[in-house]
């Protein structure tokens, strides 16, 4: 049996008629950049996340970049983030000649550890030569929000902006002390990605900045079109960060089905949890299941399972064995950003972030998508069990 790690065709086939019609409508309109479809999508996603403003942009990476630009972050500034994330989280900081400062993650959630963050900020502020910590970018990895109450408390204490990297967490909820809120409604701004493999994926690249701060939203809007305030008058140096009408139109078709898809992901995560338990694997210390930290908070979207990630003993051998059996898996991420060649000048060393480095050796994402069939999940679980029985 073949179980790919992701099956985008299954989703397309289920909505093909609607999608094809909408795409042809955009072609007929010959309006391709920004425009009414983008504006509608901005309103719909702002409303979904409970924020006042949405600005559609060219990708999730550009959403982070333009948010940093709008906050005035640039040369010599320090921005604290996780080393256990997709490259763009830190790459965007470095592109602005600011400096990524990494902070280790929490073992259970894989998100920024508030304890480590507190220690780091205290240390950085004490270093007189490094007074320019400006922002924190917490990442809501795999679809589960970082501990935003604790992170926001630290941000307030040190006067820092908070950009939520919610590229893997569209629609995810967090039980804050002010009640349950969605990702992107917790920080200064939040960023989404519509890369095709994300939970809400377009027909190519796309992204969005969400914020409750009207002033910041206005800056992002101007920076999105090169910093143009009115036709051919430029108040700032921005870029071409525009979202295409085709992407917005396609995303709006998907948005109708999106809440159901999120639920289907959660159900499949529960099936994995149960079946892997029944196979006795977590108990034997061979694998560890994902920790859904907010499961009993009453929030429906306590985790949106962009990825279902286990920790596995002999991870690489397990991955190879699963591949032999037609089961696709992935490792997000095999190397911490602090150890990437392009960041060697930052001066980090192996051992600097032990929790991240352990995760890099152990994590394995099992196939996860709303269309995953029960027999496919059975196959995945029995292949994992078989691998460990043979050892």
| Per-residue interface string for the shown chain with ligand PLP, residues 72-111, x marking contact by CB under 6 A | -------------xx-xx----------------------
Q: Is 345 exposed, middle or buried (0-12, 13-18, 19+ CB in 10 A)?
A: exposed
Q: How far is the CB of 19 from ligand PLP (least distance, A)?
A: 20
Among 37, 205, 244, 357, binds ligand PLP (CB under 6 A): 205
State the nearest-atom distance from the C-beta of 89 to ligand PLP, in Å: 5
Closest to 209 (Cα-Cα) out of 377, 65, 340: 65
Contact region for ligand PLP (CB under 6 A) — 162-170, 249-257, 295-303, 336-344?
162-170
Q: Which stretch binds ligand PLP (CB under 6 A): 21-29, 161-169, 176-184, 223-231?
A: 161-169
Shorter beta-carbon distance to ligand PLP: residue 206 or 387: 206
Residue 365 host element (H or E): strand 363-366
- For ligand PLP, the closer CB: 85 or 109: 85
Interface residues for ligand PLP in 168-187 (CB under 6 A)?
168
SS3 90: helix
- Angle at Cα 49 formed by Cα 47 and Cα 50, nearest 5°? 60
Give the x-and-dash track for 41-70 against ligand PLP (CB under 6 A): ------------------xxx---------
Q: At 373, list the tokens.
A: 């069939």
Question: The tokens 């939040």 sit on which residue?
Answer: 190
Helix (H, G, I), strand (E, B) or coil at 389: helix
- Tell me the closest approach of the beta carbon of residue 281 to ligand PLP, in angstroms: 27
- Enclosing H/E stretch for 248: helix 245-278
Q: Rg of the Cα trace of the chain?
A: 21
Residues 6+ apart with CB under 8 A from 340: 87
Taking the least distance from each CB to ligand PLP, the nearer of 182 and 379 is 182
* Total interface residues for ligand PLP by CB under 6 A: 15
* Least CB distance to ligand PLP at residue 60 (A): 2
Category of 179 on φ-ψ map: left (φ > 0), alpha (ψ -120 to 50) or beta: left
Output the residue with the shortest Cβ distance to ligand PLP: 60
| Least CB distance to ligand PLP at residue 140 (A) | 8
- Pull the structure tokens for residue 388: 């460990």
Q: What's the order of all strands across the beta sheet hosting 78-81?
A: 53-57, 207-211, 189-193, 161-165, 133-137, 78-81, 99-102
User: Pattern of binders to ligand PLP over 258-287, x per CB under 6 A?
Assistant: ------------------------------
The strand pairing partners of 182, in sequence order, are 173
As a whole number of angstroms, the distance between CA 88 and CA 94 comes to 10
Identified binder of ligand PLP from the candidate list 207, 238, 367, 370, rule CB under 6 A: 207
**Closest distance to ligand PLP from the beta carbon of 359 (Å):** 14
DSSP H/E element including 152: helix 148-158
Instruction: Specify the residue, 194 or 348, whose C-beta has the smaller distance to ligand PLP.
Output: 194
**Using rule CB under 6 A, residue 193 touches ligand PLP:** yes
Closest approach, Cβ 338 to ligand PLP, in A, equals 16
Neighbours of 228 (CB within 10 A): 16
3 state DSSP class of 21: helix
Which of 61/319 has CB closer to ligand PLP? 61
Identify which of residues 167 and 355 has a Cβ nearer to ligand PLP in the complex: 167
C-alpha torsion sign, points 178, 184, 187, 189: negative
Closest to ligand PLP by CB, 146 or 279: 146
Min separation Cβ 196 and ligand PLP, Å: 9
Instruction: Using the minimum distance from each CB to ligand PLP, give the nearer residue, 336 or 379.
Output: 336
Could you tell me which of 291, 277, 64 has the C-alpha nearest to residue 164? 64
φ, ψ (nearest 5 deg) of residue 183: -50, 150
Residues 124-143 within binding reach of ligand PLP (CB under 6 A): 139
Sites of contact with ligand PLP (CB under 6 A)? 59-61, 85-86, 88-89, 139, 165, 167-168, 193, 195, 205, 207
């Amino acid at each position: 049996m073949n179980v790919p790690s992701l099956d985008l065709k299954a989703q397309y086939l289920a909505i093909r008629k609607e999608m094809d019609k909408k795409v042809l409508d955009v072609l007929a309109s010959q309006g391709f950049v920004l425009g009414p479809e983008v504006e509608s999508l901005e309103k719909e996603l702002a409303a979904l996340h409970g924020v006042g403003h949405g600005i559609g942009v060219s990708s999730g990476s550009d959403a982070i970049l333009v948010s940093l630009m709008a906050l005035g972050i640039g040369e010599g500034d320090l921005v604290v983030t996780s080393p256990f994330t997709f490259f763009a989280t830190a790459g965007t900081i470095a592109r602005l000649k600011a400096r990524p400062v990494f902070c280790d993650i929490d073992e259970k959630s894989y998100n920024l550890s508030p304890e480590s963050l507190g220690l780091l900020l205290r240390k950085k502020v004490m270093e007189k030569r490094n007074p320019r910590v400006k922002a924190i970018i917490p990442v809501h990895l795999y679809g589960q929000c970082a501990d935003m109450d604790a992170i926001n408390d630290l941000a307030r204490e040190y006067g820092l902006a908070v950009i939520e990297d919610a590229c893997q967490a569209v629609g995810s909820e967090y039980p804050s002390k002010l009640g349950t809120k969605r990702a992107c409604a917790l920080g200064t701004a939040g960023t989404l990605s519509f890369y095709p493999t994300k939970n809400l994926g377009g027909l190519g690249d796309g992204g969005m900045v969400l914020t409750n701060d009207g002033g910041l939203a206005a800056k992002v809007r101007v920076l999105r079109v090169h910093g143009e305030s009115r036709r051919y008058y430029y108040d700032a140096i921005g870029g071409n960060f525009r979202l295409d009408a085709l992407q917005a139109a396609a995303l709006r078709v998907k948005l109708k089905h999106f809440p159901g898809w999120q639920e289907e992901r959660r159900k499949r995560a529960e099936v994995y949890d149960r079946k892997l338990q029944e196979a006795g694997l977590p108990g034997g210390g061979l694998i560890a299941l994902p920790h859904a930290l907010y499961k009993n908070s009453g929030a429906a979207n306590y985790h949106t399972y962009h990825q279902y990630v286990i920790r596995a003993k002999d991870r690489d051998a397990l991955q190879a064995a699963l591949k032999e059996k037609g089961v696709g898996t992935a490792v997000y991420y095999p190397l911490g950003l602090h150890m990437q060649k392009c960041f060697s000048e930052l001066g980090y060393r192996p051992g600097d972030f032990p929790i991240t480095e352990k995760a890099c050796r152990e994590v394995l994402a099992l196939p996860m998508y709303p269309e995953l069939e029960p027999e496919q999940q059975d196959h995945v679980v029995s292949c994992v069990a078989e691998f460990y029985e043979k050892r």
